[in-house]
Amino acid sequence: MKRTDRKIPRFKDEDEEREFWASHSPLDYFDTRNIKRATFPNLKPTLKSISIRLPSDMLAELKMLANKKDVPYQSLAKVYLARQIALERGTLGRSTDKKAKRGAHTQ
């Protein structure tokens, strides 16, 4: 990869910048030889509390399944939701499913 000393121009607005990057490669403006992978070990996902009404027999079943797996029932519910979302998106079996499984054991 060749090194370039090009400078990124100043843009009047986001539209002008969007137009510029649509026809230019960022690789022509950045020296990728010295890039280091950033790590953020203390980041935790942003969580939002919600209320959801479930039939009591469904909640009882969820708690029983969670107990068998030795995980909190809310964590198991998150795993099930993550799997269904991945299934709907067509991404089941990719990293989303693995993350969901890990999440159940970290709570």
Q: How many CB atoms lie within 10 A of CB 85?
A: 13
* Residue 40 placed within a domain: no
Residue 42 counted as domain residue = no
Please state the domain count of the chain: 2
Cβ atoms 81, 55 nearer than 8 A: no
**What is the model's pLDDT at position 7?**
83
Q: Do 99 and 63 share a structural domain?
A: yes
Claim to verify: residue 90 and residue 60 sit in the same structural domain: yes
| CB atoms near residue 79 (< 10 Å) | 21
Determine the structural domain holding residue 28 and report its residue range: 1-35
Residue 27's CB is within 10 A of a number of other CB atoms, namely: 11
Same domain for 30 and 69, yes or no, is no
> Does residue 75 form part of some domain?
yes
Contact status, residue 78 vs residue 104, Cβ threshold 8 Å: yes
Q: For the whole model, what pTM was predicted?
A: 0.47
Establish if 23 belongs to a structural domain.
yes
| CB-based contact 28:4 (threshold 8 Å) | yes
Q: Which residues contact 28 (CB under 8 A, 6 or more apart)?
A: 4, 6
- pLDDT tens across the length of the chain (107 residues): 455 567 888 999 999 999 999 999 888 887 777 788 888 888 888 888 999 999 999 999 999 999 999 999 999 999 999 999 999 988 877 554 455 555 555 44
